[in-house]
Amino acid sequence: MKKWLKITLIILGSVLLLAVIAGLGGWLYLKSTFLDFEDDYVENRELKEMTVDGYTFLDRNGNGQLDVYEDDRKSIDERANDLLAQMTIEEKIHLLKGSGMASGIGMVEPGEGIPGAVGTIVPTPRLGIPTIYLSDGPAGLRIESTRKGENKTYYCTAFPIGTLLSSTWNVDLVEEVGKAMGNEALEYGIDVILGPGANIHRHPLCGRNFEYYSEDPVLTGYIGAAMVNGIEANGVGTSVKHFVANNQETNRNYNDAIISERALREIYLKGFEIIVEKAQPWTIMSSYNKLDGTYTSESRYLLTDILRGDWGFEGIVMSDWFGGQNAPAQISAGNDLLEPGTNRQWKALKKAYGAGELSAEDIDTSTRRILKLILGSRKMQNYKYGNDPDLDAHARITRQSAAEGMVLLKNEQTLPIPSGKTVALLGVTSYDFIAGGTGSGDVNEAYTVSLEEGLKNAGFEINEIAKNIFEAHKEANKEAFVKPEGINAMFQPYNPPEVVFTSGQMDEIVNSTDLAIITIGRNSGEGGDRREQDDFLLSSEEQDMIANTCQVFHAAGKKVVVVMNIGGVIETASWKEQPDAILLAWQGGQEGGNSVADILSGKVNPSGKLPMTFPLKLDDHASNADFPLDGKPMSMFDLFGNKDKSEEEKVRNEDYTLYEEGIYVGYRHFDKANLEVSYPFGFGLSYTDFRFDNMSISVADDTINVVLTVQNTGDLAGKEVVQLYVSKPGSTIDRPILELKAFAKTRDLAPGAAEEVMISIPVAALRYWDEDQHKWALEEGRYIISAGTSSREIRIDQEIIL
C-alpha cells in the first residue's frame, strides 16, 4: 500500500508541477504576445495655445506655426492629408493598432487613462495627436466605477438591452436613449462606444441575442441607425458590430459561416447597409468568424468591395478584440484598426512592410481614415470633459424606454392591477431582477431596481410570507447566489436555484395576498450560447411553480401574472394557458423594476411588439439543425488558442456552420412552412384597441408612399405600431410569403383620437438578390402592401403595380 501511495503522490506532484509550468508558460505567452505595452507609449503632453493672424489654435507639433491639420476651419480631408504627409512610416504603422489592454484590465496608474476603457487609438506625441478611448457599450458604458486614490464614483447608466429597445418599434425614443448614452461617453472622456450590435437573431440560443435587435434586417437597420444617430449627436463615435454573421458564440473566433450570396445580402448584411445609409457611423467592427472560408477582418470583398464600394461607407473598420490571424492581410483588406493591439501584430506589420508584402498605399489608406476619425473627435477640439453626466435624467429615459419596449403577451381581465393590492412575489428573479446580459454588454451601474422595489414604489404591498421564504432560501444557498463579475461571468453562468414551495406554504401565501406574480429569469452573454434544457425550456421546478401557483390561486378566485425577465426567446406554448396574464419584461436596465411596475399598475399602457417569433418548439426553427445546441461556455483556450484545423478534424456547427435555411430566418420561415407559432413576429397587446382605416398608396420618384388612419377605439390612451409588409403574388422567384419593409409608431392617442400615419418605402427595398447576375433585381408586376399589427395579423392592404 505504501508503495502505491508513494507512486500516487509522485504522479500527483508531477501533474501539479506541470500545471504550474504550463500556467506560467501560458501567462508568459499571453504577456509577450497580447499584453505587453509598447515602450514608446507616451500619454498626451500639454499643448500651447497660439494666435496667428487673429486665429487662435493649439500648436500641436510645437513648431510655432499654423499647420493645415491644426486649422479646424479647413475640411477634415485637407487636415488629414496634411497630417498624413507629416508622419513617418513608423508613426503610420503605429497608428494601425491599439496600445493593448492596459486600461481594460486595470493596469493603469492613478490619474492615467480611463480605467475600464477596453481599447485605444494610440497617440502620436510628436504631432500632438491625442489618445482616443474606446469603451464597451451596447447597453451603456462599461468603465470602472471606482478609481485608485479617488473617492468619486464613475457610475454609468444601465440602459435596456438591444432586444427590448427594438421591441419599442420607436426610432425617436431609441435615438433619445442613444443621446443619453453618448452624453455619458462625452462626460467620461470616451471617444467611441463599441456598439450597437446589428447581428440577426438567426437562432434563439445565440448567447448574445440580447445585444442584437431582431430576426428581421429592416427592424434591425432602422433601430440601429436611430441608436447611432443619437450617440453620435454628442460628437462621439459608435462601432456597429459584428460585421458580419457573428450569429453564434460557440467557437466564435474560428467558426466558418457558410452562407449563400442571397441570404448574405438580404438577411445578414441588410441591417448594416441600412445603418450605413441612414447614419454613416464613425466605425464598424469586423467579426471574429470566417465567412465562406475567409476571416471577415481579412476579407477585401466584405470590407472594401461591399462596405465601401457598394454602400459608400466613409468611416474606419476596426477588428474585434484579438480578431483575425494575419495583421498585414487585415490592413490590406480594409480593416484599418487592430484592437486592442498586440506586439505580435506590431512586429508583423513592420516586417510585412519591409518585405514589400504590405504596401505603403494600403498603410496610407487606413492611416488616413483613422486620422479623419481623430480630427473629427471632441478630443481634437480640446474638449474638457467634466466626469459629471446627468445620471438622474438618464435613469428617467431608461425607465421610459424600458416600459415602452415591454410586450404584453396575454391579459385575461387581469391587468392593470388596482393600486393598494397585496402581491405575492414568487420566483427568485422577482427579488434579484436582471438588468442586462454579461460580457461586453454589461454595465457598472450604481443600482438595479428589483421587481419588489418597483412594486413598492408604485404603492403595492409585498406579501411578507413569500418574501421570507425567499430570504431563507437565499441564506441556505449563499454560494449559489454569488454573481460572477467581469470576465468571470463569461465562464461561470449564474443560475441560482429556484424556491420549491410546500403545499402548506402556498396555502399561507394565497390566504394573505390578492394576487401572485411569478418571475421567470434568464441571462446569457458573451462567450457562450444558451442550451435547450433548463434554459429555452423551463426547468421542472419552474413548470411546477407555475402549475401549483395557478391551481391554488385560481381555486381561491385570485389571479396569477407571469413576468419574463429574460434576454432571449424561451418556450411558452406548454404553459401559457395557465396564468391570467403574461408580461415579457425583457431586461430593462437599472430601472427595470420600476418599468415593470409602471406597466402592471397601468401608469404606462404597454405598446411593445415582438422583434422575433416565439416558436412552439426549438426545432421548428429552420436553422436548428445547423446550430450548436450544447450551450457549453467559452474557455480561455477559445480566446487565444489557434483552432484552425484540417478538413478531417472539423466539427459541424463548431468549426463551420451551414446556413442551409438561406433567407428563411424567423417569420419568413414560419410563414413559408405554414407552421403554428406561440407568438408571431410583431405581436403585442395593449390595454386599449385600435382600428386601421382609409389606406391610400401612391408611387412617385421610386418611392411607395402609404397613408392610413389609426384610431384608438378603446377606453385608455395608448400607442400603436403600424407594420408594413410586402408580398408578391404569383412570383417566379422563391420568396417569403411577406416581408417587413417599413413601420411607424403613433403618438399617445387618447380614447377616440386618430392619427394619419404616413410611411414611405423605397421601390428598391422590394428587390431580391439575383445570384446568377450577382446584383439586385426588381421583379415587375403586382405587389400587395399590407398594414398589420403582426406578421400574422393584417388589418388592411392594397395592391400596386410596378
- Other beta carbons within 10 Å of 139: 34
Which are the contacts of 66, defined by CB distance < 8 A and separation ≥ 6?
A: 50, 52, 53, 55, 57
Counted residue by residue, the chain has a size of 802
Amino acid code (one letter) for 31: K
Give the integer Cα–Cα distance in Å for 556 and 514: 10
Relative to beta strand 132-136, strand 192-194 is: parallel
Helices (H), 632-776: 636-640, 667-672
Burial class (CB in 10 A: 0-12, 13-18, 19+), 412: exposed
Distance between first and last Cα of the chain: 89
Q: Beta partners for 214? A: 200
CB neighbour burial string for 696-713, b if at least 16 within 10 angstroms, e if fewer: ebeeeeeebebebebbbe
- Using the structure block, give the residue that is written with the C-alpha cell 468549426: 655
- Other beta carbons within 10 Å of 8: 10
Q: Assign 3-class secondary structure to 495-521.
A: CCCCCCCCHHHHHHHHCCCCEEEEEEE
Phi, psi of 388 (to 5 degrees): -145, 65
Amino acid code (one letter) for 285: M
Vertex 33: Cα angle to 32 and 36 (nearest 5): 55
Active site residue 580: no
Q: Beta partners for 790? A: 793
Is the bond leading into 317 cis (omega within 30 degrees of zero)?
Answer: no
Which are the contacts of 416, defined by CB distance < 8 A and separation ≥ 6?
A: 599, 600, 601, 602, 687
Burial class (CB in 10 A: 0-12, 13-18, 19+), 784: middle
Catalytic residue among 67, 136, 216, 320: 320
Q: Among all residues, which ones are annotated catalytic?
A: 320
